[in-house]
Structure 1
Amino acid sequence: MIVSTTSQTFTKPLQLTPSKNKNPNNRFESVPAISLLQLCKNANELAQIHSLLIKTSLIQTPIAFNLLLSSYASSGDPGALDRARNLFDRADFAPSSFLYNTLIKAYTNHGYPIQAFIFYTQMLCQSSVLPDRFTFTFVLAACSRLCDRFLGKQVHAQMVKRKDFYGVHSRNALMGFYVKVGEVGMAAKRVFDEIEEPDIVSWNCLLDGYVRGGEVGAARKVFDEMPERDVVSWTTMLVGYVDAGMLSEGWDLFGRMPERNVLSWSAMIRGFVSAGRSREALGVFKDMEVSGVEMDKVTMTSLLSACAGLGALDQGRWIHSYIDKHEIDVDAHLSAALIDMYCKCGWLDVGLTIFRESLDKKVFVWNAILGGLALHSRGKEAVGLFLEMLDSGTKPNEITFICVLSACSHSGLVDEGLEIFQSMEADHNVRPTLEHYGCMVDLLGRAGLLNDARRLVETMPMEVDGNVLRALLGACRIHGDIELGVQVGKALIELEPLNDANYVLLSNIYALANRWEDVGNLRRIMKARGARKRPGCSSIELNGAVHEFIAGDCSHPQSEEIYKLIDEMAEHLLWA
């Protein structure tokens, strides 16, 4: 018989009798067949030792039986858990709480929490075995996976009856369950208050509960009261600030962290990206590089979004190279982020290549490439890809239709857009939203069908918003429909009196008709209402650095040379 391990191969007959020199209280310590169980790396090796234990009758000893069952239960090989259960069912002696706990934990970890709880109920029906201090921890983990309040509270009731059988670890698991089901302020806090000496896990669990519930004030109070904090404590509080949009407070906390892990960096980067502050996100990334922290998929996804927002192609390509160099598995989320980055940075063909090579084309991956095609006004390709998506069996969602309708709008595909819009609810059970109606108004308006666009606005089944009216007003400006443009512009200003873009659009309509007096009156109204025109802003990436320019701004270190070059260009254009 041959049993292979990572370090050696055993070909000699195994010694099956304990050595006299070993500890008499651990008489199986020197039996290779038992000690090798802890070295097994796969189901094949386990099966070999299992056979040997049967042949030598060691399988009838509790220590060998327990170790073998535990090895099967903790193995990640398919079918190993079934072997563990079959072994349990054929036991020649009454199973202990250790064996029940092992299988309850294994079923939960393998994604079968219902089976874990059923096994726990079978345990309760046995008069010869009782739950121990580990049982409730594993059972509550199953209840948390199920997110089942009723089952979890049943376990809590059983814990109350057996106060001597559980300690702080079980209470922490109970707190974790209540946090998972959203009962923090009452249930989880009450359990926490019952712990005589809460450990760092207890405090972190309570802190996490308040953060998950969006109670940032209560979370900060817990954070300040903690007798000690670890990196989990700091990161959890940071996530609370980021998720609440409190980036100033989050940035201050981030700066005071004694230790940062990849989750801390990712949270700060994600916060800046979500707030549209891509420049700050890339700045945090550069600091992260200097600190030597390796990026994970979440961090890379956020960074790619930041690169897409700024058009920072060089940095986006560097991240892509990092993924390839470290052989990181490109899942659906990372594929979508790469596609979006390349499309928004002008490299649509690279985005298409990544899409075609993606093995897991979830709906948001299709949406990413459809949005890229729309951005580049390649409507016919977008419609063709949409039909390919339907043929693949992928169900479109609301964003899918926004991308396709936008592509049709930018390419003048009126008939195709109308057909897709009408099929949304009828064929795909997706009810059109304001964004979809906005796309259709833009589609009809760009094609010059202003009356049809107006009728669509008037017959919408929901209240019109500024985006829909701006789409119609923009179409009026393009096609010179002054009368309709003035009507829509006035309605838009009444709806959003502080949005400077509305005044600019209506002013352009007046200017087209040479109604300069109305232009002047509009500017006075705008000034009286405090609606200030935001200066134009543009950015460019050069040698990996993103430079941002605002109209009339001189803060750039090379602004003098830039303005001088602009004047020279203008002079050449004047005499060209």
Structure 2
Amino acid sequence: MSVSSAPYLLPIPNKTTVLNSQQKHQSNKRDHAISLLQNSKTPEELIQLHTLLIKTSLIKEKHAFGRLLLSFASFDNLGCLNYAQKLFDTVDIPKNSFMYTAMIKAYANFGNPREAFGFYSRMLCDQHDVYPNDFTFTYVFSACSKFNAVFEGKQAHAQMIKFPFKFGVHSWNSLMDFYGKVREEGIVVRRVFDRIESPDVVSWNCLINGYVKSGDLDGARRAFDEMPERDVVSWTIMLVGYADAGFLSEASCLFNEMPKRNLVSWSALIKGYIQIGCYSKALELFKEMQVAKVKMDEVIVTTLLSACSRLGALDQGRWLHMYVDKHGIKVDAHLSTALIDMYSKCGQIDMARKVFRGTEDKKVFVWSSMIGGLAMHSFGEEAIELFTKMIECGIEPSEITYINILAACTHSGLIDVGLQIFNKMVENQKSQPRMEHYGCVVDLLGRAGLLYDAFRVVETMPVKADPAIWRALLSACKLHRNVELGEQVGRILIETEPQNDMNYVLVSNVYAAVNKWEISGKLRREMKVRGMQKTPGCSSIELDGAVHEFVSRDHSHSESQVIYELLHILANHMVQDGQEPMMTIMAEIHGIW
């Protein structure tokens, strides 16, 4: 019996089996592509993956395309952002809220906030009825605050309320943050806050910040006291509010109560003391920072350097410079400017030059600072060379630059050059002279003895001269002993500011310069009759890294008795040498004038 061999027939799969197999293969490819997208580190890798998605037809798969779009949009790079927008505009696929939100976020954070709001508008007009997701409004309100779009932000607020679903607390927090940044009244922020079902600590912080930004510190303090829990941000917002408003006593108390401090807390208090002129207190806080081992950034170093400049605290300024080098802090244009200013004002012009030469990003204020430093040390010709070089580099001088270069001409007696620079400024439509520039010209002419020319400049100015300009001219009259013009200017000053003691002192000094002691004394007596006293002078000295301040008539310094004893000894020596009348010296020692 023979056995016939029948052909082997393969089983024919049904339609469902085929579809499931294809879907599983497609899903595997999609998951693999998304995994690669999540692990991509560079734009070049993303471009390769873009090619892969096109070849595998996954480019029209919403999840894969959305991840590719988000990956490009997440790079802090304008080229990648433009690439993302081309993807968005050219790939023919219905867009969803994830894709729109990715583009809104990218433009809000890295690009053009107006364009971010434009994408939000496109989303609302999309024919596929795309609605915002739980994160969309976070970036929409962020974009509106960045270009101060109050009307657009309020429109988004209204739309957010009208949508038939609830948004998370972070969306409401973003709305409060927007109203705070555009300085809307605190009551508006409070109304938004009251709509939140379960406000978190961020919600409370946004509420406090809204009150602070609108200037309602009492409302901010009430909200701060109501908070069920506080974090370091809560304390810092309140502290910044007090410090910026000049309430340093309240700010200091709050600072001392803080359970935990951050760099912003220290910076706010230090900046506050500098703003009201308490530079020594600012440097005391700096020392406390060192003890607390708080790591500084370029912002607070720049702020502290300004205090060192004011006090002439060279040792502490040097320490800050070394700290920058040691910790690798990026020296941007602002920090370079602060270093140049500090070294210039502390008498180290060579170090200022060195910092300037080492600055890569020489913005206009870096040039201005160096020109100002050279002016301070009477290097007028070098300042003019630097000013010329700046213009050759294509940098347009600012108003501050012109003030500094005119001051350089003044201190070096370069009258013709100074007047030429001023005339060029007048001809230049971009920088029109202000009161300070006319003051520089008056000072320039006055110091050179051209008093009547300076007087004509004051009289023919397009704006009414302020007292500072008249005082500059009066000082020049004293310098050159021109009593006639000094009397005329003095009368104008006293009529303008009858309660300013400085005006009487300056006029008195004009008479004293030509030995007209009787008239000088009469003016001093008139001051006493009017109940005015000369504002006490203040000086400071740095010794072993500590800054000591001295004010006339002040006995608060721990070594004041020894200091006054030494002053008496010096006064006696000067009297014996015939350098100064005894009564004048004793008057200065005891702070009579």
Aligned to 1:122: 122
Aligned partner of 1:371 in structure 2 is 372
Is 2:44 the counterpart of 1:44? yes
1:111 aligns to what? 111
Aligned pairs for 1:130-529 (under 5 A) are 130-185=131-186, 187-529=188-530
**CA offset at residue 156 of structure 1?**
2.2
- Per the alignment, do residues 477 and 85 of structure 1 end up closer, same or farther by CA in structure 2, a change over 3 Å counting? closer
Instruction: State the SS of the aligned residue for 1:534.
Output: coil
Partner Cα distance (1:115, 1:355) in 2 = 38
Structure 1 residues 556 and 145, CA, compared in 2 at 3 Å: closer, same or farther? closer
1:452 partner SS: helix
Q: What residue is the counterpart of 1:72 in the other structure?
A: 72
- Displacement of 1:449 after TM fit? 0.9
CA apart distance, 1:267: 0.9
Distance 1:76 1:550 in 2: 53
Once the two structures are TM-superposed, the CA of residue 456 in structure 1 deviates from its matched residue by 1.9
In structure 2, the gaps of 5 or more residues are 1-23, 579-593
Q: Distance in 1 between matches of 2:63 and 2:428?
A: 62
**1:541 match: secondary structure:** strand
Instruction: Give CA deviations for 1:156-183 in whole Å, capped at 9, x if unaligned.
Output: 2322220414232222222222333332
Measure how far apart 1:94 and its partner are.
3.7
Q: Return the alpha-carbon distance in structure 2 between the equivalents of residues 391 and 75 of structure 1.
A: 36
C-alpha displacement at 1:111, in angstroms?
Answer: 1.4
Conserved 8 A contact 1:43-1:77: no
Q: Deviations over 1:505-542 (max 9, x none)?
A: 22222223433332332222111222212333322212
Distance 1:509 1:133, change over 3 A: same
Higher CA-based Rg: 2
One-letter amino acid matched to 1:375: M
State the distance in 2 between where 1:127 and 1:291 align: 58
Partner of 1:8: none
TM-score, scaled relative to structure 1: 0.87
- Unpaired stretches in structure 1, ≥5 consecutive residues: 1-23
Query: What are the superposed Cα offsets for residues 350-382 of structure 1, whole Å, 9 maximum, x if unpaired?
Result: 112222222222222122112112211222222
Q: Note if contact 2:30-2:64 (Cα within 8 Å) is conserved in structure 1.
A: no
Shift of 1:550: 3.2
Q: Which residue of 2 aligns with 1:102?
A: 102
The percentage of aligned residue pairs carrying the same residue is 57
Which amino acid is the alignment partner of residue 287 of structure 2?
Answer: K
CA contact (8 A) 1:424 1:430 kept: yes
Q: Which amino acid aligns with 1:260?
A: R
For 2:568 and 2:365, how far apart are their aligned partners in 1? 46
Q: State the distance in 2 between where 1:183 and 1:535 align.
A: 43
Question: In the TM superposition, what is the alpha-carbon distance from 1:216 to its structure 2 partner?
Answer: 2.8
Residues 94, 128 of structure 2: 8 Å contact kept: no
Q: CA deviation at 1:331?
A: 1.0
For residue 164 of structure 1, give the secondary structure of its aligned residue in structure 2: coil
State the AA in 2 paired with 1:243.
D
Q: Secondary structure at the match of 2:165?
A: helix
Report how many residues are paired. 551
Q: Is the 8 Å Cα contact of residues 450 and 475 (structure 1) preserved in structure 2?
A: yes
Q: How does 1:52-71 map to 2 (within 5 A)?
A: 62-71=62-71
Change (3 A) 1:428 1:319: farther
Q: Counterparts of 1:2-41 in structure 2 under 5 Å?
A: 34-41=34-41
Give the TM-score normalised by the residue count of structure 2.
0.85
Residue 312 of structure 1: how far off its partner (Å): 0.6
* Structure 1 residue matching 2:384: 3-state secondary structure: helix
Please name the residue that 1:10 is paired with: none
Contact kept? 1:94, 1:128, Cα under 8 Å: no
Deviates most, 296-305 or 222-231: 222-231
RMSD: 2.8
Change (3 A) 1:476 1:89: closer
Cα distance between partner residues in 2 of 1:513 and 1:524: 19
Cα distance in 2 between the residues matched to 1:383 and 1:205? 50
Distance 2:83 2:521 in 1: 84
Shift of 1:429: 3.4
Contact 2:374 2:380 in 1 (8 A): yes
- Whole-angstrom CA distance in 2 between matches of 1:253 and 1:363: 39
